[in-house]
Structure 1
Amino acid sequence: MTRRQTLGSALALGAAAVAQPAFAAGMFPVVETAQGKLRGLHSGGVAIFRGVSYAADTSGANRFMPPQPVEPWAGVREALHWTEIAPQIPGDRRHVYADLIMVDRNPSGMGEDNLSLNVWSPGLDPNAKKPVIVVLHGGGFYSGSGNSVGMDGEQMARFSDCVVIAINHRLGAFGFLHLAEFGGDDFATSGTVGMQDIVAALAWIRENVAAFGGDPDRVLVYGQSGGGAKTSVLMAMPGGKGLFHRTGVMSGSALRMMPPEMASATAKRLMDALEVAPSDVRKLQEVPWTVLLETQAKLEAADRARGEAPRSFAPVVDGIALPRHPWDPDAPNVSADVPMIVSSVLDERSYRMGDFSMDEAGLLEFARERVGERASEAVAAYREEAPDTPPFLLAARLDSDLTFRKGAFAQAELKAKQEGAPVWTYLWTQPSPAADGRFGAVHGIDVAPSLYNTRGALNGSSAQANEFAAAIASSWAAFAADGNPNNEHVPDWKPYSPPERATLIFDADLRVENDPRAAFRRFWKP
C-alpha cells in the first residue's frame, strides 16, 4: 500500500465514523491525565474535552509571571464547558470582513483564569498514537481565542483521524508587558509570558496527549495570521525544543519581534497612565484586569486619533525565553530539524481597503503612498497581470506583496537556505464568494478549510468549497502524520528550494508552479 493510499484509507475511516458513532466509552468519557481525571463528551464519534486547564490562574501574584502548574485534583473534573478567554478589546463588527471571519465569536466570558485548551479526538485508545494537530488562533498578539467558532476542531478530528487541540493563552499587556527594566529579575521574562503559555501547553500535551489517543512524538503546531506569527516565534524559543515536530505558518511570517528598549517605553507609558511608579511594579498585579484592559484600549485609541499606529504589545526579545529575533538574520537553529509549511493568499490586505469604489487615479495615488517614485511602474505591472481586476483589489494585492507575501517569501528562503528540515509553500488564489466576491482571495480564506470546516462564511458551502477543504485539510493531516504534506488530494508537491521555488497553488486549477509571480518577487526584493 502506498503512502497516499494509507492516508486515503485513514480519511475513509474518519468519514465512516460519522455514520456509526462509537460510544463504547459512553456519552461522557473519562480520561485520566497526570493532573487528574477529566469528563468530556462524545459528539458524532468524536470525543470533546473543553476548557482543560494546562496551567494555573494568572491573576494576582501570577500576573506577568511565567505560567504556573495546575494543582492536581481528586475525583473527576468536568471538561464540558469553555473557560474564560484572555482579556482583550472586542473586534468592531460594523465592518463586513470582521463579521465574516468570526474571530471574536467566543462562547465564554473574559478573565485571567484562561490558560486552557480544547481537545477533539477520534478515539481514546491510549495506544493509538494518532498524529496531533495543535492550532494557534489568529488575532495578532492581542485578540482571538481557541474557543472561537473558527478554531473548532471537531470536523478535522473526524476527517483526518488526528487529535486536534486549540490553545488559549495570554494576550496584549497581560501577555507581553515588558517590565524587566523596572522590576528586575522577577519580571525578566514578563514580555514573553504569552508565548511561554504556549510552551507550557505543549509540555502538557507531551505529558498527556497519549491518554486522548495522540502521539506525543508527532505534534504539528500551526496557525494563521497571529497564529502564524506565534508559530514563527515558537520556532526560536529554546523552551519549545522537542515539544513539536512540524510547524505551519499561514499568512503570519514574523521575522522580528519587539526590541527591549521599545517594549520598556510602552510599559512605562502604561504605568504612567495607571499612575504606578516604576519602583512599585508589583502594584500592577493588584490593578483590576478590567482597568488594565481599558487603559490599554484608551492608549491605543489615542494613538489612532493622532493618526499613528497603536503602540501595541508583542513578544519581546528578552534574551532568555526569546534569545533573538525569530527569523533575522537567519532561520533559528533551535528548530533546524523541524519541517515547515509557509503560505500566503493573493489578496491578503483587501480586508483593510475602505474605498471599494477606488478608480485608476486612486490606485496610482495609493501606490505613490506605498512605493513613491516606483508607483507608475508598479501599477502597470499589476494591471498587466490582471487587466480586469478592480483597482481597489489591485491596491490590496500590491500591499499584500509588500507585507504578508514579502515576509512569507523571506521566511521560506531562510528555511531553505538553512539546509535542515525541508519547507513547503503554498499560495491561495481562489477568491472568496462572500460579499459578491468583493474581497478576492482575502486574509483568512484558508483558515476554515484547513480544519475541514466546510461551511465557513468566507468560503461558502459548495462542492468546490468541499474540494478545497479536502485538499488543504488532508495536506495538514499528512504533514502531521509524517512531516510530508503530499497526499492523494493534491498534485506532487516538492519542497521549496531556489531556484525552482515549487509552490502549490490553491485555485480552480489546483497545481504546483515553480516560482509563481516571480516578477513581483523580484520587483519587491529588498
Structure 2
Amino acid sequence: MTTSRNRVVETALGPVRGRERGGIAEFLGIPYAAPPRGAGRFAAPEPHAPWAGVRDATAAGPTAPQAARRLGSIDMSPYFGSGWIRGADYLAVNVWTPRSRADGARGLPVMVFVHGGGYTAGSTSAPLYDGTAFAREGVVLVTVGYRLGVLGFLDLPDAPRNRGLLDVVAALRWVRENIAAFGGDPGAVTLFGQSAGATIVAAVLATPGAAGLFGRAVVQSGSGLGAFSPEQAARVTHAAARELGVGARADAFAALPDERLAEVVPRLSGIDLRTPGAYDPLMGLSPFGVVLEVQPAQAPPAAVDLLLGTTTQEGNLYPSSDGEDALATAARAHPDPHGLLAAYRAAARPGAPDAEVRSAVLGDALFGRGTWALAEAYAAAGRRTFHYEFDWRGALGAAHAVEVPFLFGRTELPGLRGEQGLLGPGTVPGGLAERLRAAWVRFARTGDPGWAPYGTGGRTTMRIGEEWVALSDPRGVERRAWAH
C-alpha cells in the first residue's frame, strides 16, 4: 500500500500544500490568474491576489464552464473528464515533481501540457492527464486549465481576442516565476499540447507576448493552418448572439450566466464558415478555435525547437459529426472536396475503400495539412524540427488521440479499454509507453527526441508503433495533393 503525506511549497502568491505518494509530489488546482467573474470573464487574465496561510492543493479544483461533448460511441471521458465542476478558481495549474525536488533541489526540465477537447470541453482533472509518469522520468510536469467555448474563444469587438490562449500565456508566466520552487528550471520549459491544445500551442508560437517563456514545443495532432479568420469568427459571434438574444458585444454576453453561455455551444454547430479566401479548418467539428489574421505556419517561426506529428489514421475518430457523414462534413467545409477525393483515389490510396478515403481526407484536412505546413516552415527557417507519425492501432485504428494514453502511461484506465474504449479490448504492446515518453522527455532535455531532424530535403518521419521506423517523406503524395 502506497502512503501519502503533505508537502508544502512556497509560491509567489503564498504557500501551497500538496501530497507526496510513491516519491512523487503532486499539487493540484494552484491558481495562476484571478477567477473570471462578471465582465472579467471576457477580459484578459488578471493577476490572482495573494492568499493568507497555506492553500490546500491536494484535491482537483473546478473546471472551465462547458457543455457535454461526445464523439460517436467512443468513451471520451478519460480525455474530457467528468464535465463542468463548478467553482471560480479554474484558471489553475496542476504540478507533479519528484519528491526530492519539492524539498528544495533545482534544475529539472519542465513540460507544460495544454489539453484538447475541441476548444469547448476538457480539463486538467481528466484522469488521463496525471503527470506521475513524467515526474518519474525526472521532469516537472504542469497541466493548464483555460477558458473554453464562448468565454475563451468567442470573438467580440470589445474584448481581447483568444482569451483561452491568453490564459495559457499567463500560465507560462506563472511557470517562469514559480517553477523553481518545485524543482524546475524556468529556462528549460517545453510547451506541449494535443488536438485543440496542440493548435493553441501552434498559435502561442506566433504570439509575440509569449516569446522567451519556453524554448521547445510539441504539437501533437494540431495544425499550423487551424485558425479561424476574423471573418469566419464573426459568423460564429453573430450566430451566438442570435441564439442568446443579445447584442454581439462583450458587455451583452457578460450579463448572461455561465450556464447559458455553456448551453448555447451545441446549438452553434452547422455554421457554414467557408469564405472566398478560406475553408473551415475544423471541418464543422467545432464552432470555436483560435482566431488569427495570419496562420501560425505562415507567421515568422519562433526561436524554439519543434517536435510535431499526427496519428496515421486521424480521421477514424470522426466517422460522423452529429449523425452527418464525414464526406458531407468535408463537402460543407472544403471548397473542392470531390477534386481532393479524386486526387486521393487516383494517387494516394489506389483501390482504397470509400470509408478509408473519407477518413484520410478528414484527418489530413484537420491535422495533416497544417502539421506539414508548420514542419516545412520551421525546417526552412533553420529551426530544429522533428516529425513523427503514431501508427499503433486500437479500436479505431491509429485514430486521433490514441497516442495520449501511452504518453502519460495511463493505458490501464478502464474507460480506454473494451468495445467503447479508444484502445479497444486487446492488449497493448509492452514498452511502447515508456519508449514514447522517453523520446518526449529527451526532446525536453536536449531538443532531440532520438531521430534525424525533418528537413525540406529529406523530410524524415519517425513512424511509431510496436516497431519504430525512420522514413523519408512517407506521405509526400498526399502533401502534394493538398498543395493543389
TM-score range, shorter chain: 0.7 to 0.9
- CA-CA distance at 1:61 after TM superposition: 2.9
| Deviation string, structure 1 residues 447-479 (Cα, Å, up to 9, x no partner) | 111223342523469886332111210011111
Q: 1:76 to 1:238 in 2, by over 3 A?
A: same
The residue aligned with 1:121 is 97
- CA-CA distance at 1:325 after TM superposition: 2.0
The answer on 1:248 being equivalent to 2:212 is no
Could you tell me whether the CA contact under 8 Å between 1:126 and 1:214 is conserved in 2? no
Secondary structure of the 1:415 match is helix
The residue aligned with 1:133 is 111
* From 264, 269, 289, the counterpart of 1:314: 289
Higher helix share: 1
The residue aligned with 1:233 is 203
* From 284, 300, 306, the counterpart of 1:332: 300
Query: Structure 2 CA distance, aligned partners of 1:163 and 1:216?
Result: 11
- CA-CA distance at 1:272 after TM superposition: 3.7
Structure 1 stretch displaced more, 115-124 or 247-256? 247-256
The residue aligned with 1:16 is none
The residue aligned with 1:10 is none
Could you tell me whether the CA contact under 8 Å between 1:505 and 1:512 is conserved in 2? yes
Q: 1:310 to 1:469 in 2, by over 3 A?
A: closer
The residue aligned with 2:448 is 484
- CA-CA distance at 1:441 after TM superposition: 0.6
Pairing 1:177-326 to 2, within 5 Å after superposition: 177-180=154-157, 183=158, 187=159, 189=160, 191-277=161-247, 281-300=250-269, 309=284, 312-317=287-292, 324-326=293-295
- CA-CA distance at 1:268 after TM superposition: 3.4
The residue aligned with 2:278 is none
The answer on 1:400 being equivalent to 2:363 is yes
The answer on 1:161 being equivalent to 2:124 is no
Query: Structure 2 CA distance, aligned partners of 1:400 and 1:447?
Result: 17
Could you tell me whether the CA contact under 8 Å between 2:390 and 2:464 is conserved in 1? yes
Task: Compute the RMSD of aligned alpha carbons.
Answer: 3.0
Q: Which residue identity does 1:136 align to in structure 2?
A: V
Q: 1:311 to 1:429 in 2, by over 3 A?
A: closer
Larger radius of gyration: 1
Secondary structure of the 2:358 match is helix
Pairing 1:291-440 to 2, within 5 Å after superposition: 291-300=260-269, 309=284, 312-317=287-292, 324-328=293-297, 330-333=298-301, 335=302, 337-354=303-320, 371-373=337-339, 375=341, 378-379=344-345, 381=347, 383-384=349-350, 392-419=355-382, 421-432=383-394, 434=395, 439-440=396-397
Query: Structure 1 CA distance, aligned partners of 2:432 and 2:205?
Result: 28
The answer on 1:448 being equivalent to 2:405 is yes
| Deviation string, structure 1 residues 152-207 (Cα, Å, up to 9, x no partner) | 2112211x110111110001110122222xx3xxx2x1x21111100111101111
Could you tell me whether the CA contact under 8 Å between 2:70 and 2:76 is conserved in 1? no
| Deviation string, structure 1 residues 474-499 (Cα, Å, up to 9, x no partner) | 0111111122212xxxxxx1110022
Q: 1:273 to 1:518 in 2, by over 3 A?
A: closer
Secondary structure of the 2:55 match is strand
| Deviation string, structure 1 residues 14-53 (Cα, Å, up to 9, x no partner) | xxxxx9x8x9xx7101000010010001121111111111
Could you tell me whether the CA contact under 8 Å between 2:392 and 2:466 is conserved in 1? yes
The answer on 1:64 being equivalent to 2:76 is no
- CA-CA distance at 1:264 after TM superposition: 3.4
Could you tell me whether the CA contact under 8 Å between 2:340 and 2:482 is conserved in 1? no
TM-score (norm 1): 0.79
Q: Which residue identity does 2:387 align to in structure 1?
A: T
Q: 1:43 to 1:462 in 2, by over 3 A?
A: farther
TM-score (norm 2): 0.86
Q: Which residue identity does 1:313 align to in structure 2?
A: F
| Deviation string, structure 1 residues 404-462 (Cα, Å, up to 9, x no partner) | 2122111100111112x211000112211x3xxxx111001111112233425234698
The residue aligned with 1:92 is 70
| Deviation string, structure 1 residues 114-161 (Cα, Å, up to 9, x no partner) | 101111111314332111111110112221112112212112211x11
- Unpaired stretches in structure 1, ≥5 consecutive residues: 1-18, 318-323, 356-361, 487-492
* From 40, 44, 49, the counterpart of 2:22: 44
Q: Which residue identity does 2:307 align to in structure 1?
A: I
